[in-house]
């Protein structure tokens, strides 16, 4: 969601900015722009739509060594050129990620003072505020301090100032911003991959930080004091921004899942009965668990709920962060609050975490991005081992979240003495064979294509399942919707006949997921009900026993494993079917329209 990049150094900044914005495309955007110093004045170029539109009008050989760039994901005003960043008012030119919540009031005040606005954005208002404050205090850092006391909301901002042609100013609150540290050159960016081919040394800015960078100097302040900082090294190599021969990042990331699982096991599972789970706090003192997350992370939580209740014997509730944060939380003191987030920057999840902390509850973050805002705020953190995820639609990070929740459930079961050593042996054996079973499913490409060809022409598709299979149905449905723009619904199979079954017509595709032996006969009955009404049934199951002919149209067999890890297999066909449908429909799979990778606004 909105990408920022900035450069000051010895090289041509236009190339660096465009390179950086290309690397940030994965965050999702609908317009782009850059600003750079040239012949002592600031040039601004911006266009709506894809970066290609901006690139068409650029002179890449221009002689400039300092500039800022932005990809905008529209929040205030349409995705049109006038609303794109950078915005300029007086001597200030800025790019911004976040939302200035009180911009309407500030705008009214500034209008009374004679400011006229050319866009619908909150960003132009912030820019005008900086200009206004500068009239009475000719020091840009003081202006930033004053502005940050007036504005409410989230912001990561890069600022060029007309009279200082060798500096980029920054200010940050609640939206991510890093400073990339080079030799005789420095960078700003929303995320390290934007600059990873130039440097892997970076500084994470904290909320309330502001500062200034030149090519050989970085100064960061907080609370009116210069602060010390650590330069961190990004742990993933530049090759993460390489599709490694796959046609899309999403496909590459789906195929990385066996490795992600192996890494998770290496870091969290002891290969013997002694200890079983390592590097994990003891959660047995909690009588309840509340998991709060957004999107796919909520779907991972719903799978986790089944595992935590069945194996960990602990009551677990799952809530959507955007709802939870505005509700009375009803958290009891013996309740552990788990927040799950790939990016660690999701605004709603971060606020939900704050609410839980204010309530005095212990909090655990299951996070993929090291050092992210949520990881820094949670009392305890378990890092998922998915590595950087580039495709907007999550796949490997989702399955890493599911794996982590299953391991927490297993840990609880073990520590509460609820599990026999025979079962532990079976679990360890399943863990060992799971990566090759995942690979076996990944090799089934032709089957997924065949199913996708049947689905691609339909406008409405249903997913059904019960318990863990319902949780998986929800994630399968979301994957299909977001990348192939096909409307689909996930239903608890038993709920269908309470209304939705009226939508089933001859030929309506229904993907029926049946992997939980305990509930399988019930879901199969529901499957038969839709088949009787003419549905085209795709039966995804780990059951190999023959059903009567004609009860399904396609069957996809999932290898058997221990129930704790079965979802990590079932999800693969669902991801692959969504991918193949999107491919047939010619969609922009890695960057679906209207979506952003890191949702830093509420």
Residues forming contacts to ligand F6R in the complex (CB under 6 A) are 294-297, 341-343, 346, 349, 393-394, 478, 482, 599
Sheet with strand 31-38: strands edge to edge: 41-48, 31-38, 66-72, 3-8, 186-189, 178-181, 201-204, 232-233
| Helix/strand/coil percent split, the chain, to 5 | 40, 25, 35
Beta bridge partners of 481: none
Catalytic residue among 447, 479, 531, 597: 597
Least distance CB 394 / ligand F6R (angstroms): 4
**Rounded CA gap, 146 and 462, in Å?**
53
Strands, E assignment, 23-86: 31-38, 41-48, 66-72
Strands, E assignment, 125-272: 153-161, 164-173, 178-181, 186-189, 201-204, 209-214, 217-222, 225-226, 232-233
How far are the Cα atoms of 34, 41, 246 from residue 37, in angstroms, in the given order? 10, 5, 39
User: Closest CB to ligand F6R among 386 and 434?
Assistant: 386
Closest CA to 87 of 27, 2, 20, 11: 2
Catalytic residue among 2, 13, 294, 587: 2
- Determine the residue with CB nearest ligand F6R: 295
User: Closest CB to ligand F6R among 321 and 537?
Assistant: 321
CA angle 153, 339, 266 (to 5 degrees): 130
User: Closest CB to ligand F6R among 133 and 367?
Assistant: 367
**Does the annotation count 597 as an active-site position?**
yes
User: Closest CB to ligand F6R among 412 and 483?
Assistant: 483
Q: How far apart are the first and last CA of the chain?
A: 11
Beta bridge partners of 487: 460
| Helical spans, DSSP H, in 368-497 | 373-377, 396-415, 421-442, 445-455, 468-484
User: Closest CB to ligand F6R among 269 and 405?
Assistant: 405
CA angle 294, 295, 297 (to 5 degrees): 70
Least distance CB 181 / ligand F6R (angstroms): 26
User: Closest CB to ligand F6R among 94 and 393?
Assistant: 393
SS3 213: strand
**Rounded CA gap, 316 and 235, in Å?**
34
* Torsion angle (degrees, nearest 10) of CA 199, 201, 206, 210: -60
The gap from C-alpha 96 to its chain's centroid, in whole angstroms, comes to 19
**Does the annotation count 13 as an active-site position?**
no
275 phi/psi in degrees, rounded to 5? 95, -40
**Rounded CA gap, 591 and 22, in Å?**
12
Least distance CB 101 / ligand F6R (angstroms): 20
Least distance CB 176 / ligand F6R (angstroms): 11
How far are the Cα atoms of 6, 204, 480, 598 from residue 208, in angstroms, in the given order? 19, 12, 39, 20
Least distance CB 368 / ligand F6R (angstroms): 7
Least distance CB 105 / ligand F6R (angstroms): 30
User: Closest CB to ligand F6R among 413 and 474?
Assistant: 474
Least distance CB 325 / ligand F6R (angstroms): 13
What does DSSP assign to residue 277?
A: B
Least distance CB 458 / ligand F6R (angstroms): 21
Least distance CB 289 / ligand F6R (angstroms): 18
User: Closest CB to ligand F6R among 199 and 342?
Assistant: 342
b/e 81-101 (16+ beta carbons within 10 angstroms → b):
ebbbbbbbbeebbbbbbbbbe
C-beta separation of 342 from 191 below 8 A: no
User: Closest CB to ligand F6R among 88 and 342?
Assistant: 342
Active site positions, annotated: 2, 597
């Amino acid at each position: 969601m909105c990408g920022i990049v900035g450069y000051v150094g010895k090289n041509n900044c236009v190339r660096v900015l465009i390179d950086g914005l290309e690397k940030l495309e994965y965050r999702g955007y609908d317009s782009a722009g850059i600003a750079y110093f040239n012949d002592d004045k600031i040039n601004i170029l911006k266009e709506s739509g894809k970066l290609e539109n901006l690139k068409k009008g650029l002179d890449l050989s221009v002689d400039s060594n300092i500039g800022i760039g932005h990809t905008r994901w529209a929040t205030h005003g349409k995705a049109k050129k006038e609303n794109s960043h950078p915005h300029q008012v007086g001597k200030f030119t800025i790019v911004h990620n976040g939302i200035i919540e009180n911009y309407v009031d500030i705008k009214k005040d500034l209008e009374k003072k004679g400011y006229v606005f050319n866009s619908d954005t909150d960003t132009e208002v912030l820019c005008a505020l900086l200009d206004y404050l500068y009239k009475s205090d000719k020091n840009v850092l003081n202006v930033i301090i004053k502005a940050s006391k007036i504005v409410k909301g989230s912001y990561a901002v890069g600022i060029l100032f007309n009279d200082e042609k060798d500096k980029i100013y920054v200010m940050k609150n609640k939206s991510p911003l890093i400073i990339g540290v080079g030799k005789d050159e420095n960078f700003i960016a929303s995320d390290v991959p934007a600059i990873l081919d130039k440097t892997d040394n970076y500084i994470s800015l904290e909320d309330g930080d502001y500062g200034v960078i030149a090519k050989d100097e970085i100064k960061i302040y907080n609370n009116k004091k210069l602060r010390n900082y650590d330069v961190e090294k990004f742990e993933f190599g530049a090759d993460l921004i390489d599709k490694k021969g796959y046609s899309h990042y999403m496909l590459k990331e789906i195929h990385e899942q066996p490795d992600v699982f192996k890494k998770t096991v290496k870091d969290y599972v002891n290969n013997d009965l002694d200890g079983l789970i390592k590097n994990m706090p003891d959660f047995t003192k909690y009588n309840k668990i509340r998991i709060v997350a957004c999107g796919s992370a909520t779907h991972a939580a719903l799978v986790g709920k089944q595992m935590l209740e069945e194996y960990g014997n602990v009551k677990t509730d799952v809530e959507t962060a955007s709802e939870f944060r505005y509700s009375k939380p009803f958290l009891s003191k013996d309740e552990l609050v788990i927040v799950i987030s790939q990016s660690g920057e999701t605004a709603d999840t971060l606020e939900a975490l704050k609410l839980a902390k204010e309530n005095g509850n212990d909090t655990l973050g299951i996070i993929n991005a090291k050092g992210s805002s949520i990881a820094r705020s949670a009392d305890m953190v378990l890092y998922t081992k998915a590595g950087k995820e580039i495709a907007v639609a999550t796949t490997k990070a989702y399955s890493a979240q599911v794996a982590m929740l299953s391991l927490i459930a297993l840990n609880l079961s073990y520590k509460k003495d609820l599990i026999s050593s025979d079962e532990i042996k079976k679990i360890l054996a399943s863990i060992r064979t799971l990566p090759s079973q995942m690979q076996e499913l990944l090799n089934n490409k032709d089957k997924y294509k065949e199913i996708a060809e049947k689905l691609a022409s339909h406008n409405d598709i249903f997913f059904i399942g019960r318990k863990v299979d319902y949780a998986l149905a929800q994630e399968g449905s979301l994957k299909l919707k977001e990348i192939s723009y096909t409307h689909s619904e996930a239903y608890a199979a038993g709920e269908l006949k309470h209304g939705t079954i009226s939508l089933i017509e001859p030929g309506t595709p229904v993907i029926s997921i049946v992997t939980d032996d305990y509930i399988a006969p019930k879901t199969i009955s529901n499957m038969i009900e839709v088949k009787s009404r003419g549905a085209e049934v795709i039966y995804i199951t780990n059951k190999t026993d023959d059903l009567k002919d004609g009860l399904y149209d396609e069957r996809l067999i999932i290898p058997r494993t221990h129930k704790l890890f079965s979802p990590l297999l079932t999800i693969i066909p669902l991801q692959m079917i969504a991918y193949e449908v999107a491919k047939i429909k010619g969609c922009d799979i890695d960057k679906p329209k209207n979506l952003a990778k890191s949702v830093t606004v509420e």
